[in-house]
Structure 1
């Protein structure tokens, strides 16, 4: 299965996740997957849902991994097709206010961690994207950041704002990275771990007494919502976030209370010339 994932150029994090799910499936039944079929898959998924009480989104990951295992590695697509996708509720993503983002940044003591968090928020980057940035990806002449190998393996460009560029320069002077990695890890050739960034965010949220859930992805949601509230076209937001479908980006419309508040009700124009002209 590991070779099949690599041949299809799945990202390392996805490979690790799929393999972890497949190993859990085998460990539950204590026999090789070649000897199991749909009944065993259903029993395992029911165990996860009813006894482990995993979230719907987590169950979705298990289903994706098992579908890949049976359809690709074992060559049994009839089993893969019959595995049901769980219905995942569309919850409104949490969003920080501008004041909360500013307080969070001020509460981060490390220059390196603060620069990573500001870059993630200021450019709407996923945690893997910001941690993997290279020095050559920063184009200060055109005010662009080159995001390489994003989700689904696609590259894109995002804005390089003045505050982010200033922070990156301060980080560069303090850190002086020896290799191409902008945010290197402890081992040569590695990048800073995702957990190190998450831990810095949790500690900053504790310091400034934020009671909202704060994660790198919350920063990304906040970036998109704040852009919408500033009047940015949703198609531009889609391109900046690297969404393949506008439907994913539309989720942020539901989040933005300011956007809703600025929307005029048709009741406001009833009986006016504008209503006769536009509403008939």
Structure 2
């Protein structure tokens, strides 16, 4: 059996699960999509089925898909990005799970969203928020701002990814599955060494208790099951508590959860009394803008951020006082 996604055909193995949602999970895992993608696709497939009275998607077609998407847009007023995610989940369902050729689904219009300027903090505001972060999360915030990493990229760092000798941090499997290298801020070297020492203590406790190793990408874990117990693969920011892996079902130590840091960051923004709606991703926006303000080449910033297209990086020039952005207001020369 061959499944198609758009115009590209690819052979996929037969599904073994009986229930549809389990089949979605099985296919997502076979294709090595992230747990977040798995949760999102299962959520939207379930919502689609319930919207149409629990009818099987094989019985539904273009009118039912359009009705569901219209409901999301007109009744639930979801953002365009959410609308696109729901459509992607349905394309995945029909093409990858049900094995149907779905050109009619691929041709459904996607909502267009206008360009939105990112929230950017000043240097003073960044310092205020970082100072307001509790001691457990301050280093994470400093690292996000100091390197421009996305939140999950920072939380998923392993011990082996920190290279003090070259003053660099390797970001593995970033957005788009790409690796890249960012600078290791000199100011954080001592704090990172202390954090590594704390991580090692937890690692030694886990080894003494003969606990399962940390999560590894599927192929690595299958090839070398004990690799997750080695020191280099441990999380740089391990969680204090153990948790059960949602896929493997074993108890192991995960990294600090993104929701945990997001709550801490929101509290810090409140303590700093900022009016701007800052989130952890705002630190990445601020990193990029401040580098461009310091006259670093936009291609260099693009590479540090891991953007595939420089046009994505260009959004940060909105606060620069160079080129068109440097036009002086006529009011200022009256």
Equivalent of 2:185 in 135, 148, 161: 161
Q: Which residue of 1 aligns with 2:309?
A: 245
1:90 is matched with which residue: 115, 120, 134? 115
* Structure with a larger share of its residues in strand: 2
| Aligned counterparts of 1:213 and 1:78: Cα–Cα separation in 2 | 40
Aligned runs of 1:229-268 on 2, under 5 Å?
Answer: 229-253=293-317, 255-259=318-322, 263=326
Q: Which residue, out of 160, 165, 185, partners 1:141?
A: 165
Q: Report the structure, 1 or 2, having the larger helix content.
A: 1
Give 1:215's aligned residue: 279
Gaps of 5+ in 1: 266-280
Q: What displacement does 1:260 show?
A: 5.0
Matched, 1:107 2:137: no
Is 1:79 equivalent to 2:104 in the alignment? yes
1:181-203: per-residue Cα shift (whole Å, max 9, x none)? Answer: 11112213311100011001000
Contact 2:292-2:298 within 8 A present in 1 as well: yes
For the 8 Å contact 1:38–1:82, the answer to whether it is kept is: no
Q: How far apart are 1:2 and its partner, in Å?
A: 2.1
Deviations 1:108-136 (A, max 9, x none): 122x3001111111111111111111111
Compute the displacement of 1:258 (Å): 3.2
- Give the drift of 1:91: 0.5
Cα distance, 1:170 vs. partner? Answer: 3.6
> Does the aligned pair in 2 maintain the 1:71–1:80 contact within 8 Å?
no
SS at match of 1:146: strand
Between 89-98 and 22-31, the greater mean CA deviation after superposition: 22-31
What whole-Å deviation, never above 9, does each CA across 1:205-258 have from its counterpart, x for those lacking one? 1111011112121111111111111111111111111111222112222x2233
Indicate if the aligned counterparts of 2:161 and 2:170 stay in contact, CA closer than 8 A.
Answer: yes
Structure 1: distance between partners of 2:172 and 2:55: 40
What are structure 2's unaligned runs of at least 5 residues? 1-23, 204-233, 243-251, 329-334
Query: Which residue of the other structure, out of 115, 121, 128, is the alignment partner of 2:152?
Result: 128
Q: CA deviation at 1:262?
A: 7.2
Which residue number in structure 1 is paired with residue 57 of structure 2?
A: 33
Distance in structure 1 (CA, Å) of the matches to 2:32 and 2:311 = 26
Q: Does structure 2 retain, via aligned residues, the 8 Å contact 1:145–1:158?
A: yes
Matched, 1:3 2:26: yes
Name the structure 2 match of 1:17: 40
1:46 aligned partner: 70
Q: CA deviation at 1:102?
A: 0.4
Equivalences, count: 263
Partner of 1:277: none
Q: Distance in 2 between matches of 1:239 and 1:220?
A: 13
Q: TM-score scaled by structure 1?
A: 0.88
| Distance in 1, Cα, partners of 2:142 & 2:75 | 40
Q: What is the root-mean-square deviation in Å for CA atoms of aligned residues?
A: 1.9
Segment drifting more, 244-253 vs 128-137: 244-253
Return closer, same or farther for 1:242/1:44 CA change in 2, 3 Å cut-off: same
Larger mean Cα displacement after TM superposition, 121-130 or 3-12: 3-12
- TM-score normalised over the length of structure 2: 0.74
